[in-house]
Chain A
Amino acid sequence: MTDVLTQPRPIRLKGRSFLALALTPELPFADWLRRLDDLAARSAGFFLRRPVVLDVEGLDIDRAELRELVDQLNARNVRVMGIEGARSSLLGPDMPPAMTDGRPAGDIEAPEGEPAAPAQAARPVADPAPVAAVPVPTTPSLVVSRPVRSGQSIFFPEGDVTIIGSVASGAEIVAGGSIHVYGPLRGRAMAGSTGNAAARIFCRKLEAELIAIDGFYKTADDMEPELRGKPGQVWLEGETIKAATLG
């Protein structure tokens, strides 16, 4: 018994929240898969690197049909991380696990396909002055110029969210980028929700119920009391949430 572990390191278990797309297939699956193919063709990589949950609530299918659907999706490179709304008899160890308690977020618009290049080239140029159509890479942002009320939820996975006004207790802001609140932040703010650890949260008055960046979160009880009610910013350093007063 001389074999002693020199580095008794514990295994770390952490809670983390992710945003997942929920796909809701419709019967008959063949038609639905065709529409999915059409969407995928217009926007290559729409499903790439996105966790996808299959929502089969209310669909009258048996185990073989579900199996077939998951296989079809796998063949299309859509990786299903879980199945929601399925009876337990439909699932097995060879299937994605069951997911419960998903909370709805805003709909994500399917991207419009790039205009077909040949059609553009073939179009006769009527305008003598050529218009430079250089695509400028933009950082999308959402500006909300009214208070966000209790029970309301702003969901913007594309980029920054700026709120001119207050975020009430019981309200929720989810942004892919940073969150700026020019007013008191009393509700929940989740920045960098699509995996952006560099996102930050800024507010005029920090009274949040919960703040999260890239899935790491802190509740009101964990926050330094001396920051309460002050203008502040919140960022992520490694895996710890840091907060400081502004100005």
Chain B
Amino acid sequence: MGKVIVVTSGKGGVGKTTSSAALGAALAQNGEKVVVVDFDVGLRNLDLVMGAERRVVYDLVNVIQGEAKLTQALIRDKRVETLYLLPASQTRDKDNLTPEGVEKVIAALKNAFDWVICDSPAGIERGATLAMRHADVAIVVTNPEVSSVRDSDRIIGLLDSKTLKAENGERIEKHLLLTRYDAVRAERGDMLKVDDVLEILSIPLLGIIPESMDVLRASNVGAPVTLADGRSAPALAYFEATRRLKGEDLPVTVPGDKRSFLGKIFGRKAA
């Protein structure tokens, strides 16, 4: 039985899709069978980030409505053999997702894969609650800014009340993934510091992904950042996050802890 992970956030544009693709690719590179499911029906993007946009024939809605078999809709990644994508529909809207349909698809995927990563739409609407409903583990993606943190807090509240695990009286495992972290700006006070975010949200930290041009570059060439350049700073951070996700006890290093003398001067000047 595979593990179902939902990648979620309150606010849009924080890096859910990037993180879903990067974590999925990192897990699959170790030979584990991974499927990344795009739940953002109507606004699909995961196929772009994974470089499969021209290979989409059937999508999640087709499978749920019984117009296609699951095996027809799954797209195998060209670079990593064990990585699959289940794309979202661009033309239909989220009302086509039925709770029963989602349940059936997730159950089937759980049987066939080691990891099922659900890329959730942002917010607290139907699409987001359906994506989180069957999850065993939730990854809450947050930027170090107050609006993002508050919306994440709201989402954590929903994870504790609207998931199957919560309804059965269990606690869903939750992790925080802090993305687009810029050490210089955090030091300057333009961004929240890691400790502040952790203190407000009080869930365990899965990783800190530094703000980097490599992420943008990777998504523009259609490759998860962990595949595009495995030695870039964000890729390394995602690899570490993956190891923690698998249960390894790894200390989290805050980017920019050891800053250069020059950086300190600039940091102060701008403040």
Contact = CB atoms under 8 A, between A and B. Distances in A.
B143 to A, nearest CB: 16
Interface string B117-158: 000000010000000000000000000000000110110110
Main secondary structure of the interface of A (DSSP, over half): loop
Q: Which size class do B's interface residues fall under?
A: 10 to 19
Given A168-B150, A169-B150, A170-B150, A152 B200 contact: no
Contact of B157 (A151, A169, A184, A186): A151
Contact of B154 (A165, A166, A170, A186): A170
A149 B160 contact: yes
Per DSSP, chain B at the interface is helix
A165 B157 contact: no
- Chain A contact-residue range equals 10 to 19
B202 A165 contact: yes
A149 B156 contact: yes
Contacts of A152: 157
Contact of B160 (A146, A168, A169, A186): A146
A49 to B, nearest CB: 33
B199 interface: yes
A202 to B, nearest CB: 20
Nearest to A152: B157
A184 B153 contact: no
Interface in B146-174: 150-151, 153-154, 156-157, 160
A40 B55 CA distance: 67
Contacts of A150: 150-151, 153-154, 157
A143 to B, nearest CB: 16
Contacts of A168: 150, 153, 200
Interface string A151-173: 11000000000000110111000
A150 B160 CA distance: 12
A165 B203 CA distance: 12
A149 B153 contact: yes
A151 B154 contact: yes
A149 B154 contact: yes
Contacts of B157: 149-152
B200 A166 contact: yes
Contacts of A186: 200
Contacts of A170: 150, 153-154
Contacts of B199: 184
B205 to A, nearest CB: 16
A170 B147 CA distance: 11
Interface in A92-151: 146-147, 149-151
Q: Which of A150, A152, A186 has the most CB of B within 10 A?
A: A150
Give the interface centre of A149, A152, A170 by most chain B CB atoms within 10 Å: A149
Nearest to B152: A150
Nearest to B161: A152
Contacts of B154: 149-151, 170
Interface in B170-205: 199-200, 202
Contacts of A149: 153-154, 156-157, 160
A152 B156 CA distance: 11
A147 B150 contact: no
B138 to A, nearest CB: 13
Top 4 closest pairs, chain A to chain B, by CB: A149-B157, A150-B153, A151-B154, A150-B154
Given A166-B202, A186-B200, 12 more contacts: A149-B153, A149-B156, A150-B150, A150-B151, A150-B153, A151-B153, A151-B157, A165-B202, A168-B150, A169-B150, A169-B153, A170-B153
